[in-house]
Amino acid sequence: MEKIIDEASNCLNCKNKPCSTKGCPLGNNIPQFIEQIKQNNYKEAYKILSETTVLQGICGRICPHAKQCQGSCIRGIKGKPISIGELETVAFDAVLEDDDSLLNCYQEEIRKNKTNKKVAVIGGGPTGLTASAFLARNGVQVTIYEKYDYLGGLLVHGIPEFRLPKEIVEKTVKKILRLGIEVKYNQQLGKNIFIKDLEKQYDAIFLSIGANKSSKMGVEGEELEGVIRRQRTFRIQTTSRLQR
């Protein structure tokens, strides 16, 4: 871990935090979590990241860091930017085997925010999982309806193992579900679940379904056996009004 601490120590802890405010779509408090890594406090670094994301181990591995957080790092102007993705990955891996690590961060918050509100989340991909986690942290009773017999969506069937190990996805999902989220598998919208029926049971419905559409290149031979066409993925996100 000495190499990691040395890397974290290169962070300038900039006052304006361009890596966070400009480079990170989620607004992760990057200097603050890196500061905890400097102090060899990886669990606290994970907790800080959890304030804005529940996919730390995934984002740390597959986000386009060079175009986002690292691309905005002041260190990169005259030299090498801080390896923010690597540090985020390390923060997650430090709690990899602790399925309750996310719950431990927000157990008291969940208890204080407990409501009788119920939300159905349709689709258990990255969007559905993230929405479910933040709803649960705010005391909402969440049920995920998933088309397949596993959660993760694109993270499982759209990203190769060498880039994102399935173990990381599984551990991430476990941490999220430990917040008290219920899951109903093999439930397909329009086939065995319907909006009109869910509206009678829930205060709001969140749609996070993937709509994959093949994109042909128009080149000779693309229909041959063994040729795989690239997929374009469109994500639908809608919510009903949820009043406390």
Per-residue pLDDT for the chain (244 aa), expressed as one digit of tens each? 789 999 999 999 999 999 999 999 999 999 999 999 999 999 999 999 999 999 999 999 999 999 999 999 999 999 999 999 999 999 999 999 999 999 999 999 999 999 999 999 999 999 999 999 999 999 999 999 999 999 999 999 889 999 999 999 999 999 999 999 999 999 999 999 999 999 999 999 999 997 666 667 778 887 888 776 544 443 444 444 454 4
Residue 156 near residue 150 (C-beta atoms within 8 A)? yes
Which residues are CB-neighbours of 243 under 8 A, at least 6 positions away? 203
For the stretch 20-26, contacts whose Cβ atoms lie closer than 8 Å and that sit 24 or more positions apart, written own/partner, are 20/69, 22/72, 23/68, 23/69, 23/70, 23/71, 23/72, 23/73, 24/68, 24/69, 25/68, 26/52, 26/53, 26/59
- Residues 76 and 93: their CA atoms lie apart, in Å, by 26
Q: Where in the chain is the domain with CATH 1.10.1060.10?
A: 2-93
pLDDT of residue 215: 66
Return the residue matching tokens 């869910």: 198
At the topology level, CATH places domain 2-93 in Fumarate Reductase Iron-sulfur Protein; Chain B, domain 2 (1.10.1060)
Q: Where in the chain is the domain with CATH 3.50.50.60?
A: 101-235
pLDDT of residue 101: 97
pLDDT of residue 48: 98
Residue 105 near residue 47 (C-beta atoms within 8 A)? yes
pLDDT of residue 211: 66
At the topology level, CATH places domain 101-235 in FAD/NAD(P)-binding domain (3.50.50)
- Residues 122 and 104: their CA atoms lie apart, in Å, by 26
> H or E stretch including 113?
helix 101-113
> H or E stretch including 49?
helix 42-50
Sign of the alpha-carbon torsion through 179, 180, 186, 192: negative
pLDDT of residue 241: 47
- Residues 162 and 206: their CA atoms lie apart, in Å, by 31
| pTM of the model as a whole | 0.86
Residue 189 near residue 209 (C-beta atoms within 8 A)? yes
pLDDT of residue 218: 79
Six token digits for residue 127: 């969007």
Return the residue matching tokens 């961060």: 105
